[in-house]
């Protein structure tokens, strides 16, 4: 019987597949992206087959040499892959091995199935992918920390419900975003750990019959451990789901960062100056500079979250072990990864290049309305119950509004008519600086805790850098 190149099955078939179905069935168009992992697995597999006596070491050496040659051909001419008619990446490699080695090339695919192969490749991809995005998010956190450092001390009109609320340090706002991205990095690291188990040896689903050293194979491929149950090993995609959730949370945080930057760069706020390098103009309105980088980053959230939902729905209700539906795991995963790898790079660059309009920030932070809570606290410090103090300051603000005057410029006798505990010194106590100083609790918006948060962020960055270096 002759060996047919690139044909992974068909002995029991009389007819060939319908043409449209064949196109529908083929995954090489997207799973070829996993070729570097497939080739790495094959190199280790050749050695494993020597260990169990299926291949002579000289045969394994020839297979490895052929695999190296295939790698080189791909590097030299990536368009080579476009011309292939392979069904999937497994068929592609096998065909190329047979092309080069004849019958020896057909010896490699024993003791394994495409079902344990593909999930091994995908786990290797997720480990690299989540590591790469994590490293990029670390750079984004560093860019936020640098801006926080450079603008330390600058006050800002803190808002809730997008209404002026209390004074904060501008750096406190930046570090709020940094905090969320630190969690994202930790989630990405957890996704790497979840993916870090080698399924090889699970075979099609019931385990290989060869006496393989699964741990040795896993180690050779850089896996920390092996999967347990062989049925679960080929059917489980939790590691992909968890990576997609980490990406979705990241996309969501990026979109909130983007929204703040877009808002604060508008003429109404004017806190931030859009960098040319990350903005675009209008084809009609000559004056325009648009925050397109941020808008696109915000816009990516939909497709990334969509990828997570797509995989969740694909997995729901699948019978245990491998089902072909699982092939649908790859495209959304690749897309979500590519988008977030790009978005985090752009976000880090845009944060670093953004100009800060100190004057606009200071002017907005000088709004006396921001000091109303501190005024109530002033009364409380002099024995007034808080609920009553709240009422008094509210009434003062209303009275000032009626007079068309900032509340803190009302004459002392008017103030005293509202509450006799106001003393001539009150204005000195209720300033932006004093209000910030008073927010000294850990996690607060004042200079002391924000300095501390900045130092913590630097320490976190150093630790993250070390973890990355250790990978
Ligand atoms: N292309 C498939 C996937 O992406 C892997 C092949 C498994 N096919 C099979 N009939 N066992 O999941």
Q: What letter does residue 81 receive in the DSSP assignment?
A: G
Q: Residue 189's closest CA among 254, 117, 137?
A: 137
Distances (CA, A) of 436 to 154, 363, 454: 11, 16, 16
Judged against a pLDDT cut of 80, whether residue 6 lies above it is answered with: no
376-380 mean pLDDT: 93
Task: Indicate which residue of 208, 248, 253, 282 is catalytic.
Answer: 282
Q: What is the pLDDT of residue 281?
A: 84
Q: Both tokens of residue 469?
A: 């270096």
Q: What letter does residue 267 receive in the DSSP assignment?
A: T
Q: What is the pLDDT of residue 12?
A: 82
3-state secondary structure of 158: strand
Q: Both tokens of residue 333?
A: 């995963």
Let me know: does 420 contact 430? Beta carbons within 8 Å. no
Let me know: does 386 contact 376? Beta carbons within 8 Å. yes
pLDDT in tens, 96-155: 999 999 999 999 999 999 999 999 999 999 999 999 999 999 999 999 999 999 999 999
pLDDT in tens, 440-470: 999 999 999 999 999 999 999 999 988 888 8
Q: Is 266 a catalytic residue?
A: no
9 CA closest ligand 1 atom index? 10
For 354-382, give the DSSP string.
-EE-HHHHHHHHT-GGGGHHHHHHHHHHT
Q: How far apart are CA 386 and CA 376, in angstroms?
A: 7
How many CA atoms within 13 Å lie on the side-chain side of 429?
15
Q: Is 161 a catalytic residue?
A: yes
- The rounded Å distance from CA 308 to ligand 1 centre is 20
- The rounded Å distance from CA 35 to ligand 1 centre is 14
Q: How far apart are CA 416 and CA 346, in angstroms?
A: 55
- The rounded Å distance from CA 394 to ligand 1 centre is 68
Q: How far apart are CA 433 and CA 437, in angstroms?
A: 6
- The contacts of residue 162 (CB under 8 Å, 6+ apart) are none
Q: How far apart are CA 122 and CA 442, in angstroms?
A: 43
Q: How far apart are CA 5 and CA 453, in angstroms?
A: 62
Q: How far apart are CA 421 and CA 270, in angstroms?
A: 39
pLDDT in tens, 178-224: 999 999 999 999 999 999 999 999 999 999 999 999 999 999 999 99
Most informative mutation of 118, 122, 237 for ligand 1 (most atoms within 8 A of CB):
118
3-state secondary structure of 232: helix
Task: Spell out the domains of the chain, with CATH numbers in brackets.
Answer: 19-110 (1.10.275.10), 115-364+455-470 (1.20.200.10), 367-438 (1.10.40.30)
What values do phi and psi take at 356, rounded to 5?
-110, 125
Q: Whose CA is nearest to atom 1 of ligand 1?
A: 327
């Amino acid at each position: 019987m002759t060996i047919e190149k690139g044909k992974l099955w068909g002995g029991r078939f009389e007819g060939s597949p319908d043409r449209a179905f064949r196109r529908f069935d083929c995954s090489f168009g997207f799973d070829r992206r996993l070729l570097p992992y497939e080739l790495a697995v094959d190199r280790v597999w050749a050695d494993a087959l020597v260990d169990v006596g299926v291949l002579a070491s000289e045969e394994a050496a020839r297979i490895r040499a052929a695999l190296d040659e295939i790698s080189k051909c791909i590097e030299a001419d990536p368009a080579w892959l476009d011309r292939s008619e392979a069904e999937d990446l497994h068929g592609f490699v096998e065909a190329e091995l047979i092309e080069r080695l004849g019958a020896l090339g057909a010896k490699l695919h024993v003791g394994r199935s495409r079902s344990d192969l593909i999930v091994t490749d995908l786990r290797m991809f997720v480990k690299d992918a989540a590591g790469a995005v994590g490293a990029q998010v670390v750079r984004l956190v560093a860019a936020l920390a640098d801006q926080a450092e450079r603008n330390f001390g600058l006050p800002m009109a803190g808002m809730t419900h997008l209404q002026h609320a209390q004074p904060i340090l501008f750096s406190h706002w930046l570090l709020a975003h940094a905090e969320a991205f630190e969690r994202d990095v930790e989630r990405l690291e957890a996704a790497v750990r979840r993916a870090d188990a080698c399924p090889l040896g699970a075979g099609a689903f019931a385990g290989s019959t060869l006496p393989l050293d699964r741990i040795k194979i896993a180690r050779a491929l850089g896996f920390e451990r092996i999967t347990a149950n062989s049925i679960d090993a080929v059917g489980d995609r939790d590691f992909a789901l968890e990576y997609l959730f980490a990406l979705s949370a990241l996309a969501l945080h990026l979109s909130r960062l983007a929204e703040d930057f877009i808002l604060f760069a508008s003429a109404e706020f004017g806190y931030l100056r859009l960098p040319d390098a990350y903005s675009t103009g209008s084809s009609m309105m000559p004056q325009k500079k648009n925050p397109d980088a941020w808008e696109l980053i915000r816009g990516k959230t939909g497709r990334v979250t969509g990828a997570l939902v797509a995989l969740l729905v694909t997995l729901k209700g699948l019978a245990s072990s491998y089902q072909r539906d699982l092939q649908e795991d790859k495209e959304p995963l690749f897309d979500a990864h590519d988008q977030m790898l790009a978005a985090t790079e752009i976000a880090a660059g845009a944060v670093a290049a953004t100009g800060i309009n100190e004057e606009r920030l200071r002017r907005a932070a000088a709004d006396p309305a921001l000091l109303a809570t501190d005024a109530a606290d002033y009364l409380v410090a002099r024995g007034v119950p808080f609920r009553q103090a709240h009422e008094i300051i509210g009434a003062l603000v209303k009275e000032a509004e009626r007079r068309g005057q900032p509340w803190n410029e009302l004459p002392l006798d008017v103030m005293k008519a509202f509450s006799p505990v106001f003393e001539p010194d009150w204005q000195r106590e209720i300033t932006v600086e004093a209000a910030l100083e008073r927010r000294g609790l850990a996690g607060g918006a004042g200079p002391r805790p924000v300095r501390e948060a900045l130092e913590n962020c630097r320490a976190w960055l150093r630790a993250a850098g070390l973890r990355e270096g250790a990978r």
